[in-house]
Amino acid sequence: MTIHPNSEQRKKLKRYHIPGHAHELTFSCYHRFHYLNDPNCCALFIDELSQAREHFLFRLWAYVLMPNHVHLFIYPTRAGALDTIKKTVWHVASARA
């Protein structure tokens, strides 16, 4: 059985957000375009990530910028901050790009 990456099954992936644990986040670029091939877009994202880290007080353990997506490994230090971090980091960076 072949599963297309944009299939409904992908959206049914169960995620666990357990306070006090590190989290891996993945963000895809708009329509999976390769915006992060541009060094300026990478710099914008890293700048937003740094500002978000200071504002939301999370520890950034690792990140990987790929041409059309980003992987973050973070440890939120405040309860309930994970959803806000996810919404803010990528949306603000993509708006600036």
Q: Is position 74 within any domain?
A: yes
Q: Which two tokens stand for residue 37?
A: 């091939």
Cα–Cα distances (Å) from 61 to 6, 24, 25, 28, 74, in that order, read 29, 10, 12, 19, 6
Tokens 């375009």 label which residue?
33
Q: What percent of the chain has pLDDT over 70?
A: 74
Query: pLDDT tier at 1 (50, 70, 90 boundaries)?
Result: very low
Mean pLDDT of 50-66: 91
Q: In degrees rounded to 5, what are phi and psi of residue 14?
A: -85, 130
In a domain, 12, yes or no: no
Q: Tell me: the pLDDT tens digits for 21-43?
A: 888 888 888 788 888 999 998 99
Number of domains in the chain: 1
- For residue 5, is it within any domain? no
For 9-18, what is each residue's pLDDT tens digit?
556 667 667 7
CB 82 within 8 A of CB 72: no
Report the CATH number at residue 52: 3.30.70.1290
Q: Does residue 30 lie within any of the structural domains? A: yes
Token couple for 80: 């309930």
The answer, as to whether pTM is greater than 0.75, is no
